[in-house]
Structure 1
């Protein structure tokens, strides 16, 4: 009872008893620390039964469910009639129509529509990487990058091709993969409009217009058509010389 009372008194005084071992951020209640730790681990234990979207907090799931049920949508946009549960959500939404960007970076003066976007942007200046993998301790600037990285440990490949059943870690890679099946040419030369399936092919093609040459290796000239034969000849000569020296040294010891 005494320990419970002591903890309660510290909470009342504002003392933060629970500290994150990853980023040293402190919290007044253990429950808040538990939720915070999920921002590092990427854990989302609460899932929507309708669309399978996952959340770190139960309250976030409850708010999300209203999107499907339509309950509690009290604030409506007068421009597009889209409704929101909270006035703050409507305020954020209206900026899409007005183009207002009230959040400005003090370092580079770049402005953003939402505060969360400014927070993420600031990390490009500070180098902060708050999302850490609990398996290998690698850190990331964005939570989505940590989520993708964790799949390299778990082996999870949630995006599968409906044609050949090959699975991928990223949805963007799956979208690119589909172009192989449908023959879509994604990369187009701005000079002659010729299209290519792979960006590397476009890069090579572009050099035919610019006249740019590939980087040459400091050890040999790949443009030399006799390179392969020359190397083999040199290797044979070195091998014969080595064998000859070995034979002479063996003879001298006899």
Structure 2
């Protein structure tokens, strides 16, 4: 047999045109993604992850791989695996920073997704060739140049005068004594009025005796109240001459 004929037959047998035809991964990828989304909606998270693994295996480009990673992050977030979800979000958004969430999620997952998007955009701005599997990091705020740092304002220290404990105690005691003295004074007047209205001498005498006792008590208490108030004022004036231990610091 001619050698050229044998070589031609062999090439035809190993050629894709004569072997099993290559199938496109597009329809299979869409079917896997649809099955993963449906399983997620039915809360069958494990089956959803299995379908996502199968979809990733037939993904044709970075866009499809990003879709798989984002949906995987959503499933992992619902499973309580937050760190894995953040890493999966980062992988998907590194492949497509403008990607959106394919399904409705909780506000917490949405906040995590947007936070990862901001970090990815920041990293891509600094390094456009950043690998998708680079560790997720939150960049610190840039510090101003040394010459532009404003000097720190010196704190202002103000001394304030507080009421001494003795003055406060005397003033409080004076108020209490004055209140009790006023009460006895009112009771004395009430007994005097009752004595005027009584028809019997014995009743009038009893009311007047009570009125005199109450008037005496009222006078003593009011005098003590005035003395306490005066003592409080003197203690306050004397304390004002010495430096107060209280200071206030304001920036």
More strand by percentage: 1
TM-score, L = length of structure 1 = 0.18
State the structure with bigger RCO (CA 8 A, min sep 6), 1 or 2. 2
Query: Under a length normalisation based on structure 2, what TM-score does the superposition of the two structures give?
Result: 0.18
- Structure of larger gyration radius: 2
